[in-house]
Amino acid sequence: MVAKEKQQFHLKKTTFFKVNGNFMEPPLPLAGLNVLVVDDDDDSRFYVTTVLEGDGANVVAVASAAVALEALIKLQPDVVVCDIAMPEEDGYTLMRKVRSLKPDQGGRTPAIALTAYGDSEDRVRALEAGFQTHVAKPVDPTELVDIVTKLVANCENY
């Protein structure tokens, strides 16, 4: 057997790799990814942050659209996960403002609308505002990580 040969072992839904005689877990799917989470609800913000950080993301979470716009420009995250129904300024308005920014200010940052508004009209409205995808709450943790991973991968291909 070649010293650097990799063998896969499947245990408890986790794939481990044997490299040079040592078992290693693969890197977390969101490792090194910078995510801006925008939600006025403390519990929702905590849930999304916990899920994404648990899979390796660096998360900045904010409670309002106004703070989110400032954070986006300053931090230049890889992706935004944003609630729609927020007081003062909703997610649709925030995303239209984001899309009006220059690319070097974050105007092309991929974005996910994560919302309790889950019908087809809401989906169309989110896409028209500039979100790449629309996800209804509540969302399964594995599904959320998968959606973020796929969105970032698809956007990197452009």
User: Residue 59 pairs with which residues in a beta bridge?
Assistant: 35
Take residue 142 and report the two structure tokens written for it.
């594995």
The domain over range 34-156 is classified in CATH as 3.40.50.2300:
yes
CA distance 99 to 148: 19
pLDDT in tens, 101-126: 999 999 999 999 998 877 889 999 99
DSSP helix/strand/coil, 144: helix
pLDDT in tens, 26-79: 678 999 999 999 999 999 999 999 999 999 999 999 999 999 999 999 999 999
pLDDT bin (cut points 50, 70, 90) of residue 25 is: low
CA-based nearest residue to 108, from 84, 130, 82:
130
Domain with CATH 3.40.50.2300 in the chain: 34-156
Side by side, the strands of the sheet bearing 58-62 are 58-62, 34-38, 79-82, 111-115, 133-136
pLDDT in tens, 70-110: 999 999 999 999 999 999 999 999 999 999 999 999 999 99
